[in-house]
Amino acid sequence: MFGAVSVFCDITPDTYCLSPESLERQIQAVLAEGKLTPKAVVAADILGNPCDYDVIVPICEKYSLFLIEDAAQSFGASYHGKKACSFGQIATTSFFPAKPLGCYGDGGAIFTDDDHTADLIRSLCVHGKGPGGKYDNVRVGMNSRLDAMQAAVLLPKLKALGDYEIDARQQVVERYGRAFAGKLTTPFVAEGCVSAWAQYALLAADTAQRDKIVAHLKEAGIPNMIYYPTPQHALPVFRDEPHYGETFRNADDYCARTFSLPMHPYLEQAEQRQIIDAVLEAL
């Protein structure tokens, strides 16, 4: 929308987050070509896992790039003792109902420790208001205020997330892990990290096995999703963007084999047993 060009990177084969090695290769390729000027990096925390910021942050500093942490799926997670939404110049999260901290409609938040950036964001979210209030428009903005109803929903849910929901999600994950170990590729969390478990994604042996499992779950009436069936670099809107020779091998492989099972902190053990049995029946 603002004339920027998306230059995609591959993911890591274990956490499925941004690959620092791919990131630096792409930065160097863009600079070598000399047609575009790298400006910013968007690091998306995927499925609840935070990116490897101990490596990504120095890369951004090395090339003077603005870092944006996309923490839509990782609110409540942590990376070496630091909470998600505390990396980069700004971090964003989503309060869409399917996220770890969800409201009853649409919502989100932007985090920054820079006063100037915070003032700019506050202005933009209320029609570009200035110091004189919402009718003192000093720039073109938008209406992206979080309404009082959504805030009222989020406040007690925020407390519950910190008090017990992340721990409850972890218990669900451990039960799944015991059941599927050695049968499917289960999620990986790097040492020193805590996942928010936005989704519980498994990898089948191949696309055929994944599709067989998904079809069986549908027949059994068990909800499931594929996050995501098509990698972003292959979407029609981005198909003509420059790839600079990057193959995106890990992203393509992940999208070909992944499927996700029900994941929330209130999943009863009996319900989870039904889900597990249905998956095992399809193998």
- pLDDT score, position 3: 82
Strand partners, 11: 18
pTM comes to 0.95
Identify the band that residue 64 occupies on the pLDDT scale cut at 50, 70 and 90: very high
Task: Look at 100 and 2; give whichever has higher pLDDT.
Answer: 100
Calculate what percentage of the chain has a pLDDT beyond 70: 100
Domain-by-domain residue ranges, the chain? 20-107+146-282
Stretch among 10-14, 58-62, 143-147 having the lowest mean pLDDT: 143-147
Token couple for 166? 């992340």
Summarize pLDDT for 152-192 with one digit per residue, the tens: 999 999 999 999 999 999 999 999 999 999 999 999 999 99
- pLDDT score, position 1: 59
The domain made up of 20-107+146-282 has a fold known as Aspartate Aminotransferase, domain 1 (3.90.1150)
Summarize pLDDT for 122-162 with one digit per residue, the tens: 999 999 999 998 899 999 999 999 999 999 999 999 999 99
- pLDDT score, position 239: 86
Residue 2: pLDDT over 80: no
Summarize pLDDT for 16-55 with one digit per residue, the tens: 999 999 999 999 999 999 999 999 999 999 999 999 999 9
